[in-house]
Chains A and B, each alone.
Chain A
Amino acid sequence: AQSVSQHNHHVILSEAASLELGCNYSYGGTVNLFWYVQYPGQHLQLLLKYFSGDPLVKGIKGFEAEFIKSKFSFNLRKPSVQWSDTAEYFCAVNPLGAGSYQLTFGKGTKLSVIP
């Protein structure tokens, strides 16, 4: 079965620092990739997604992610974080050809941004 690994459980950054959150997946075939964000007390929201084409994907709120097929990675980046980015971030994978639309989630990375 496919799995998704997020390397960091908790990341603490100062405002204006750059962010990179790692995500690796284990599935040999074609995948759709997602990053979701969960702000404190709120539900999951889609940040960005990759289906095909340009491996550098831009999402909302200045986030971007790069799909590196050879590394089975889909790392999330933001050049300058803000206090309002404090949230939990989840990477998710949907393997194509699996016959379903199921998402497999990573365990999440909690980001705390210090003003």
Chain B
Amino acid sequence: GAVVSQHPSWVICKSGTSVKIECRSLDFQATTMFWYRQFPKQSLMLMATSNEGSKATYEQGVEKDKFLINHASLTLSTLTVTSAHPEDSSFYICSPRTGIGEQYFGPGTRLTVT
């Protein structure tokens, strides 16, 4: 159990374009979704937290208009990086959490902006 998928696993895009990353909890319901980013050789940094059907809460320094998060259902959340720039190149990881406090991690999406 507790399978989390992310799509795509790797994406290259041109500067100025937008990229959507999907995160699905395949066999459980995620009442809360965390989105992290991880730079090489660094820790996971929390970007935002969202509850199903509610607006996401963003961490300080994370632009909500740039990183659009949608948590429309208990099994799907999306992160859209709008007008991507090279400095947005990173590894993005979703982390769904069940209602009883079990937190899992997706395999991550590597974004490269050229």
- Chain A residues in contact with chain B, CB under 8 A? 4, 9, 36, 42-46, 90, 100-108
Contacts and interface: CB of A to CB of B under 8 A. Distances in A.
Interface in B21-53: 32, 34, 41-46, 49
8 contacts: A36-B105, A44-B95, A44-B105, A46-B104, A101-B32, A101-B49, A103-B103, A106-B43
Describe A's contact surface by its main secondary structure.
loop
Contacts of A45: 105
B34 to A, nearest CB: 7
Contact of B93 (A44, A106, A107): A44
Interface of B: 4, 32, 34, 41-46, 49, 93, 95, 97, 101, 103-108
A7 to B, nearest CB: 14
Contacts of B34: 102-103
B46 A101 contact: no
A107 B49 contact: no
A78 B23 CA distance: 33
Given A43-B108, A101-B32, A90 B44 contact: yes
A100 B49 contact: yes
Contacts, number: 44
A43 B103 contact: no
Contact of A102 (B41, B42, B49): B49
Contacts of A101: 32, 49, 97, 101, 103
Nearest to A88: B41
Contacts of B101: 101
Nearest to A94: B103
B32 A42 contact: no
Contacts of A100: 49
Contact of A103 (B41, B42, B46, B108): B46
Given A101-B32, A101-B97, A102-B34, A43 B46 contact: no
Pairs of residues from A and B, 7 with the lowest C-beta to C-beta distance, nearest first: A44-B105, A43-B107, A107-B43, A105-B43, A105-B44, A43-B105, A102-B46
B3 to A, nearest CB: 10
Given A43-B107, A103-B44, 8 more contacts: A43-B93, A43-B108, A46-B104, A101-B49, A101-B97, A101-B101, A106-B43, A107-B43
